[in-house]
């Protein structure tokens, strides 16, 4: 089973670096060529039944993942869950979904058209989590969504691919602090998300996170080819609980700011 999970994440990584070449470069910088343990991989979706959070999760649950915790993001109109595998070297997976019914009728119409165009069994396909956007979207519809929700617009443009991978700083050989990782990333010429400070969270909440600002890549919209923010790379350092085990959850206040890594800089 572990082999199947590893090959799934290899496919997800290859699909992700196609539009996020800086992640490949930073991976090389931090790991000096060694493998890197991923703390987590994150997905975005709409809360429409055909492709909702539970449908994405089903792909992971059949590979041994278990549901761990739930999160709410009121202002961004999102809810989320995270999943863990008993093999702790496999990444946690953080899946959020947009509460579509809370948006304007214009936005809802665009989103439902996208989802309606997908085959009913799309979420059961082996390549679903690295299939990208298999619907057709115009740049003008993208801009309509962007006015209401950066998240909705990103998802409409990029579809089902990792929104970000996250380096586990705890597992890096040559680094012991997020400050040092951030410095290496910046010295390498990459821009960090500074919303709410470069480091989100602290030792008190047992999780410190930082992330790059998303790369940019061209999307072939139906009416135009346009370069827009694609995916980003995140860095996470976890601290032990009283029982000595590393905290494995997420901190909603930090995740809220990490979402903004795909804003146009
Ligand atoms: Ni993350």
- Name 208's Cβ contacts closer than 8 Å, sequence gap at least 6: 178, 199, 200, 201, 202, 236, 237, 239
Ligand 1 centroid, distance to 261 Cα (angstroms)? 10
Handedness of CA 62, 63, 68, 70 (dihedral sign): negative
Ligand 1 centroid, distance to 42 Cα (angstroms)? 6
Ligand 1 centroid, distance to 164 Cα (angstroms)? 7
Predicted pLDDT of residue 33: 76
Predicted pLDDT of residue 32: 83
Ligand 1 centroid, distance to 40 Cα (angstroms)? 6
Predicted pLDDT of residue 265: 61
Q: Which residues surround ligand 1, an ion (CB under 5 A)?
A: 42, 166, 234
Predicted pLDDT of residue 171: 95
Ligand 1 centroid, distance to 232 Cα (angstroms)? 9
Ligand 1 centroid, distance to 254 Cα (angstroms)? 9
- Name 209's Cβ contacts closer than 8 Å, sequence gap at least 6: 166, 178, 199, 200, 201, 234, 235, 236, 237, 251, 254, 258
pLDDT in tens, the chain (265 residues): 688 999 999 999 999 999 999 999 999 999 987 889 999 999 999 999 999 999 999 999 999 999 999 999 999 999 999 999 999 999 999 999 999 999 999 999 999 999 999 999 999 999 999 999 999 999 999 999 999 999 999 999 999 999 999 999 999 999 999 999 999 999 999 999 999 899 999 999 999 999 999 999 999 999 999 999 999 999 999 999 999 999 999 999 899 999 999 998 6
Give the closest residue to 1 by CA, choosing from 48, 53, 63, 94. Answer: 63
Ligand 1 centroid, distance to 2 Cα (angstroms)? 22
Ligand 1 centroid, distance to 166 Cα (angstroms)? 6
DSSP 260: G
pTM confidence score: 0.96
Ligand 1 centroid, distance to 41 Cα (angstroms)? 7
Ligand 1 centroid, distance to 220 Cα (angstroms)? 27
Ligand 1 centroid, distance to 178 Cα (angstroms)? 14
Predicted pLDDT of residue 249: 95
The CA distance from 211 to 255, in Å, is 11
Q: Quick one: residue 77, left, alpha or beta (phi over 0 = left, psi -120 to 50 = alpha)?
A: left
Ligand 1 centroid, distance to 95 Cα (angstroms)? 10
Predicted pLDDT of residue 264: 85
Ligand 1 centroid, distance to 33 Cα (angstroms)? 23
Ligand 1 centroid, distance to 88 Cα (angstroms)? 17
3-state SS class at 43:
strand
Ligand 1 centroid, distance to 195 Cα (angstroms)? 14
């Amino acid at each position: 089973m572990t082999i199947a999970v590893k090959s799934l994440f290899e496919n997800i990584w290859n699909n992700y670096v196609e539009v996020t070449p800086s992640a490949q470069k930073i991976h090389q910088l931090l790991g000096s060529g060694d493998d890197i343990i991923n703390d987590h991989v994150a997905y975005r979706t709409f809360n429409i039944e055909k492709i909702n959070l539970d449908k994405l999760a089903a792909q992971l649950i059949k590979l041994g993942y278990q549901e761990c915790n739930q999160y709410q993001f009121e202002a961004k109109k999102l809810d989320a869950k995270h999943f863990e595998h008993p093999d702790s070297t496999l990444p946690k997976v953080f899946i959020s979904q947009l509460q579509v019914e809370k948006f304007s009728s214009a936005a809802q119409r665009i989103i439902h058209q996208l989802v309606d165009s997908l085959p009913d069994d799309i979420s059961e396909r082996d390549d679903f989590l690295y299939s990208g956007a298999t619907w057709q979207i115009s740049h003008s519809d993208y801009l309509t969504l962007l006015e209401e929700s950066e998240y909705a617009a990103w998802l409409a443009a990029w579809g089902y691919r990792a929104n970000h991978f996250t380096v586990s700083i705890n597992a890096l050989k040559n680094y012991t602090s997020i400050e040092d990782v951030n410095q290496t990333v910046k010295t390498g010429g990459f821009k960090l998300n500074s919303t709410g400070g470069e480091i989100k969270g602290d030792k008190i909440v047992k999780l410190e996170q930082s992330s790059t600002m998303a790369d940019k890549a061209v999307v072939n919209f139906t009416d135009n080819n346009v370069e827009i923010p694609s995916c980003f790379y995140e860095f996470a350092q976890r601290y032990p609980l009283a029982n000595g085990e590393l905290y494995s959850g997420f901190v909603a206040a930090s995740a809220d700011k990490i979402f903004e890594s795909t804003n146009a800089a």
